[in-house]
Amino acid sequence: MSKEFNLNVDKRDLTNKGGRKRALKEGKIPGVYYSHDSKESLSFYIKKSELSHAQKADTQIFNISVGGKQRNVLFKSIQYHPVTDEIIHIDLYGIRMDQLVSVNVVINISGTAKGVIEGGIVVQSLNEIELECLPMDIPQSIDIDISHLDIGDSLRCAEIELDDKLNMKTPEDQIIISITVPMKEEEIAPVLDEEDLEGDEALSEEGEESTDSDEDSAEDSEDKKTEE
């Protein structure tokens, strides 16, 4: 069951790109709140330190006060800087505690697969799954034990045992984990560089010259015998 966490945000007026850059330098991250019915949106700033505390909280539900009203929200999306990987913008989605929501929940893998002990490798195709439930029933993660999987085995979404309060939204035939045989490295013939090739050509030419010289010496010897 998810808990609630109070998130302090400051309402802001829409500003230009320069204003957003100044805010980021001041340790503030711009964001937008969207209501559950998408009829309302509000712009705000949140301190980086506040956001850091929220990310470490054991919850996905947050309480914010924007425009003089208390609101329950989920993180809808987070934008990162392409170079520094720092958060530069967030979107919060308003929810009603009595209405179902769809959320992505992280998958935690536990156990060592039998196939791995026999030399196989784990291939994880999904890191999270989409679930539908009431906000207070959102799990922090979905734990999956893979110790029973052998080489060639796979685990699909349909095989996950969920609480009755949770509905799977990810396609049930989607593979989450599979145990495969590692690919063997093919033996590659050594590639000779230009110096090696030139050396081989020189040796070949010397061999040919030596052969020609031997043939000439044999012919001279035969001529002398004939004259005698």
Provide CATH code, domain 4-96: 2.40.240.10
What value does the mean pLDDT take over residues 37-55?
Answer: 82
Please name which of 123, 127, 126, 129 lies closest in space to residue 178, comparing C-alpha atoms.
Answer: 123
Q: What local confidence, expressed as pLDDT, does residue 39 receive?
A: 73
Q: Is the pLDDT of residue 113 over 60?
A: yes
What value does the mean pLDDT take over residues 128-149?
Answer: 93
Pick the range with the lowest mean pLDDT from 10-14, 88-92, 111-115: 10-14
Pairwise CA distance, residues 6 & 65, whole Å:
9
The predicted-structure confidence for 48-97, as pLDDT tens digits, reads as follows 888 888 877 778 888 887 667 788 899 888 888 889 888 889 999 999 99
Q: Is the pLDDT of residue 137 over 80?
A: yes
DSSP 8-state class, residue 136: G
Q: Is the pLDDT of residue 213 over 60?
A: no
Please name which of 188, 201, 142 lies closest in space to residue 167, comparing C-alpha atoms.
Answer: 142
Strands 101-110 and 141-145: parallel
What's the Cα-to-Cα distance from 84 to each of 47, 49, 185, 190, rounded to whole Å? 18, 17, 36, 41
**Which CATH architecture fits 103-180?**
Beta Complex (2.170)
What value does the mean pLDDT take over residues 33-37?
Answer: 83
Q: Is the pLDDT of residue 31 over 60?
A: yes
Q: Is the pLDDT of residue 107 over 90?
A: yes
What value does the mean pLDDT take over residues 25-33?
Answer: 86
The ranges assigned to domains in the chain are 4-96, 103-180
Highest-scoring range by mean pLDDT, 61-65, 193-197, 210-214 = 61-65
Strands 175-180 and 154-156: antiparallel
pTM, rounded to two decimals: 0.66
DSSP assignment of 51-110, as one string?
HHHHHHSS-SEEEEEETTEEEEEEEEEEEE-TTT--EEEEEEEE--TTS-EEEEEEEEEE
